[in-house]
Structure 1
Amino acid sequence: MSVKNALVNLTRHSYIYTISTFVQRMLGLIMTPVYTVYLARETYGDYSLLYAFMAFMNVVYLYGMDVAFMRFYYSDRFKKEDVYASAFWAVGGGALLLSLLIHGQAPYLSRVIFSDATYEWPVRLAALILFLDTFSNMPYLILRVQERSVAYSVARILRFAVELSLNIWFVVVQKEGFLGILYANALASAINILILLPIQWRYLKGRFNAAAFKEMARFGLPLIPNGLAYLVIEMSDKFLMDRFLDRETLGIYAANYKFGTILLFLVSAFRTAWQPFMMKTAREINARTVFARVMTYFTLMGVVMVVAVSFLLQDILTLKVTDTFSLLGERYWPGIPVIPIILTSYLFYGFYVNFTAGVYILKRTRLMFLFTGAGAVVNIGSNFWLMPAYGMMGAAWATLLSYLVMAVLLWGYNQRIYPIPYEYGRITGLLVILVAFLGVYYIFEPGLLYRLALLVGFAAVLYMGGYLNKTVVGQVQSVLRFKK
């Protein structure tokens, strides 16, 4: 496969996945203004703490079987149906045991998560949601590994529509508050399982293959500590902020952090397409050249998104739709300055995802924990150092430092075991441009008109630097014309 066709194929699927990821994550962005109106800041803090726990447990529930399934789906040694059935029943059995354990230990977990034993019912609802989400997420793996990006996106959009409707019903109409979010999530997951049943029905006819499961477990289990370390980076700031500062500050920070995850739309969509693409492309003679070019284009897209969102989002969030309503409740505006830092953090996380090529292709996943673990250590240490002195901004900088360390360490290891000829000059130039424009944003705090003028200047700098040349434009046109 030529470099151009490989890039067009990856970009096309990433583009479609971006749409579904955007719509999926729009639930959080759409509901954040509603939550900031209908939930007190302390209650929003409760919501953030419980969902941090659920994100942490989601890694344990899957224990690497999602990635392992995609890795062994292409194996000639096992039937595809057996690979899926083995992963499905192994994950399902584990999910049942874990949910029963959480249900039984709800009083204890309530004290651990909230420092309060009265949150037993939310914890038990979390156990139910984790169980249902495990089963509802499995069919998406089939669509990903078959590169059925359109079907994947349609299914995700349906899930979004159902959950959004249920959120509005429980939170706005029924005024169930924090519990309403959990009820909506649980019902949406159950409905999603039924909708996706036809997709996986053929694969569920496969048999549990002990040999396939053993190999998948050997590949996937080392990803558990890696995933948990990643979630330490994502979630430790919330728990530490609840201890170092207060739950109201946590509520402000968490609401604005949500908008900082806009770049995660790009990273998540890219990763969804990247993993199966990487495994297939690794067989091609020009694979490393393709991977290098992917990194350059990813950096360009990421830098453009960070600068554009940083310069425009503040005015969008604070725009008064009515006399009393804005997209971000006025009580939460003090947290807006953390957003550009969080955006930049996810740019470095995207670099980390790019640098996983050698580790996955050569099956070195057992070492992933070392890099993510280093990021987790940096995160906790930085939060202890920066949060008491700088509050929310300190927590945001700790997140950025963590992802930067992860990316640099994994890059160094990847280049040793699987050298890729990255375009270092072009990538460095883009990062210098990013730092310069964000520096202007923070130091001078320009008004809207000045920021719009700066965005024009930003585009001009990219053009003069050769980043927006005919090759890039042609690449975009090829993606739009490409038919699989």
Structure 2
Amino acid sequence: MSIFKKLFKQTFIYGLATVLPRIMAVILVPLYTTVMLPEEYGIYASLMAYLILGNVLLSYGMETAFFRFVTKDASNQKMVQATTLTSLTVSTLFFLGITLFFKNTIAEVLDFKPEYVSYGLLILALDALVVLPFVWFRANERPIKYAFVKIFNVVINLAFNLFFLLLLPKLAENSSFWSSLWFPENKVAYVFIANLIASGVTLLILLPLYIKIGFGFNKTIWKQMIKYAFPVLIAGIAFSINEAFDRILLKYLLPENSAEIEVGLYSACYKLGMFMTLFVMAFRLGIEPFFFNHAGHSNAKKTYATITKYFTLFGCLILLGVVVYIDIFKQILIPNSQYWEALKIVPLILLANLFLGIYHNLSVWYKVTDRTKYGAYISVFAAIITLVLNFVLIPIIGYLGSAIATLAAYGSMVVLSYLYGRKYYKVPYEVNKISGYLLLAIGFSAVSFYVFNGNMWIGTTFLVVFAGLMIYFEKNEFLKILKK
């Protein structure tokens, strides 16, 4: 099997593990926006933004370090695995104990109910405890098992969300027992409880892998891994700022009487960017191990260039497709028209996530050359852009400013990574062709959405023209790859 076919196969399976759970989770978006007011959804979205940062802190770059050290020295694989598992387990339990002790103080500072903070901390801890098992599946090329557990997690989450928000209210009408469990004024709590149950079940399923890997600790290996992981952690923190701090800043920079409503509107319409997010996430899960495993091949750079071009092409199709048919998607995913006023952010979020995916491709240069500090520099620079633009624009144009900030941040990461990569690990990217496809897709999307107000006939014409040009110019090379 050619390297491209193997990559596509693994990306497809990891994509399945990502897309199917997310498709099931998508059911929750119309559910939440139907049973919750925008301000209630805003509370949920704000706390989830903090959990994104928490996930980064609790894994502290060990996921990427694990990949690097497992492939770097085959003789120490078992000790690398055991050291990573021990490190993550001890740090997570320590974090949970300290934060639960100070949960009331945390709740007061962040302006959340203490019970919400408790749920969030427990979810963070449970999710951190399964980081290594999931990474182990990827490193050992067990995508089927990875997919099964991921999908089962979301099935459990979905089932309990449906039970709590749809079935429980009906049961409570006819039973004193069920009515004692139903608190309609606190729907947000049920969402967190469902998530907590799903995370707990996932840990139980993966506990046998703890036994298989085993606990152990090598101080020398741990120090080397921490040294490698620290820049990744800094990059991850900066990355979480780019990904989630817009919702946090909206909560605190907008007037108190409208902040949570605005966060709810923004967060719901942000979900329409999930099509690109899913594509980028699935691709990243497949490409990261591939980067390290293929780095020693003589044609590695040319392979990376080809992969980046085709990633961009398919990303452009997704961008254009979602923008063209946004009126259909909004009816399915956000049936409550109260949320539709924020739809204007969707093209910006889609493009921002496409840039993020391109950046993941370009980041190969600092990962395979052990220059992870540059990844941190780039992400910190983007985080500064995110913070500055949010602080400047939110008071003026509200959540539209957050969308613009996200686009500017991810766009800057693409430019910086490309420029640094040319110096340290020059990959022969087809810059002119990639830029041409990008500009054409962006132009078609902008004209369709902003000029013709989402007219599907005109948008479909643009989509067909773009796809036709892609097939015309790329079909020969694509067929060559499939025949290898």
Q: Is the 8 A contact 1:100 1:127 kept in 2?
A: no
**Match for 1:302 among 297, 306, 315?**
315
| Aligned-partner SS, 2:72 | coil
Q: Distance in 1 between matches of 2:393 and 2:163?
A: 40
**2:281 is the counterpart of 1:268:** yes
Identity among equivalent positions (%) equals 28
**2:124 is the counterpart of 1:130:** yes
**2:395 is the counterpart of 1:388:** yes
The superposition leaves residues 132-152 of structure 1 with CA deviations (integer Å, 9 ceiling, x where unpaired) of 111123211111011222222
Partner of residue 463, structure 1: 471
The superposition leaves residues 291-317 of structure 1 with CA deviations (integer Å, 9 ceiling, x where unpaired) of 111110111111111111111132232
The superposition leaves residues 369-423 of structure 1 with CA deviations (integer Å, 9 ceiling, x where unpaired) of 2100110111111122322332222211110000001111111112211110001
Partner of residue 150, structure 2: 156
Distance 1:346 1:137, change over 3 A: same
Partner of residue 191, structure 1: 201
Partner of residue 76, structure 1: 73
Partner of residue 217, structure 1: 226
The superposition leaves residues 414-452 of structure 1 with CA deviations (integer Å, 9 ceiling, x where unpaired) of 221111000112201111211211221212214233323
Deviation at 1:344, TM superposition (A): 0.5
Q: Distance in 2 between matches of 1:112 and 1:212?
A: 38
CA RMSD of aligned residues (A): 1.9
Q: Is the 8 A contact 1:346 1:403 kept in 2?
A: yes
Q: TM-score, normalising length from structure 1?
A: 0.91
Q: Distance in 2 between matches of 1:452 and 1:427?
A: 22
**2:88 is the counterpart of 1:91:** yes
Residue segments in structure 2 that go unaligned for 5+ positions in a row: 170-185
Distance 1:87 1:318, change over 3 A: same
Q: TM-score, normalising length from structure 2?
A: 0.91
| Aligned-partner SS, 2:27 | helix
Deviation at 1:113, TM superposition (A): 2.4
Q: Distance in 1 between matches of 2:299 and 2:460?
A: 41
| Aligned-partner SS, 2:9 | helix
The superposition leaves residues 90-147 of structure 1 with CA deviations (integer Å, 9 ceiling, x where unpaired) of 1111111111222122222223323x5xx11110111111111111232111110112
Q: Is the 8 A contact 1:386 1:394 kept in 2?
A: yes
The superposition leaves residues 431-476 of structure 1 with CA deviations (integer Å, 9 ceiling, x where unpaired) of 1211211221212214233323332233233334x13x1432564x
Q: Is the 8 A contact 1:315 1:448 kept in 2?
A: no
Deviation at 1:200, TM superposition (A): 4.5
Partner of residue 14, structure 2: 17
Q: Which amino acid aligns with 2:199?
A: S
Q: Distance in 1 between matches of 2:420 and 2:116?
A: 42
Q: Is the 8 A contact 2:441 2:466 kept in 1?
A: no
Deviation at 1:78, TM superposition (A): 4.5
1:46-85 superposed matches below 5 A = 46-76=43-73, 78-85=75-82
1:247-326 superposed matches below 5 A = 247-318=260-331
| Aligned-partner SS, 2:245 | helix
Q: Distance in 1 between matches of 2:234 and 2:85?
A: 21
* Runs of 4+ displaced beyond 4 Å: none
**2:414 is the counterpart of 1:433:** no
Q: Which amino acid aligns with 2:460?
A: L
Tell me whether 309-318 or 330-339 shows the greater mean CA deviation: 309-318
The superposition leaves residues 273-308 of structure 1 with CA deviations (integer Å, 9 ceiling, x where unpaired) of 111111110011111111111110111111111111
Q: Distance in 2 between matches of 1:365 and 1:453?
A: 43
The superposition leaves residues 241-264 of structure 1 with CA deviations (integer Å, 9 ceiling, x where unpaired) of 123332101100001112213211
